[in-house]
């Protein structure tokens, strides 16, 4: 994450990592966060949530993913459960 004049900015590639679309209106992240596309009075809005914490609405999916990258900056690719990682743990 970079900072510009005291405001955090997010690298687009980092913000987009590890999200899986689980429905036409939902995306899920291995960190436990989810994004839902909602329509209120015909206007789309993206809501970012985890447990009882809700952020939004955001104007775009990218904006919601960028907020996630700010809220969960410590999440790394190593924390993502992969078949290769699980297999390596079994061999240890």
Q: What is residue 44's predicted lDDT score, i.e. its pLDDT?
A: 94
Question: What is the tens place of the pLDDT at every residue in 19-78?
Answer: 999 999 999 999 999 999 999 889 999 999 999 899 999 999 999 999 998 888 766 544
d(CA 48, CA 56): 6
- The count of structural domains within the chain is 1
SS3 of 30, please?
coil
The two three-digit tokens of residue 36, written as one number:
């839902």
The sign of the torsion formed by the CA atoms of 58, 61, 67, 71 equals positive
d(CA 31, CA 35): 12
9 falls in which pLDDT band (50, 70, 90)? low
Q: Which domain holds residue 67?
A: 2-91
Q: What is the pTM of this model?
A: 0.66
The sign of the torsion formed by the CA atoms of 50, 28, 77, 87 equals positive
């Amino acid at each position: 994450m970079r900072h510009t004049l005291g405001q955090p900015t997010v690298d687009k590639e980092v913000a987009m990592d590890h999200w899986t679309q689980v429905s036409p209106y939902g995306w899920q992240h291995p960190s436990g966060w989810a994004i839902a596309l909602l329509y209120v009075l015909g206007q789309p809005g993206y809501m970012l949530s985890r447990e009882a914490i809700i952020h939004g609405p955001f104007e775009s999916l990218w904006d919601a993913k960028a907020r996630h990258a700010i809220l969960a900056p410590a999440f790394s690719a190593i924390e993502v459960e992969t078949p290769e990682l699980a297999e390596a743990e079994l061999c240890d």
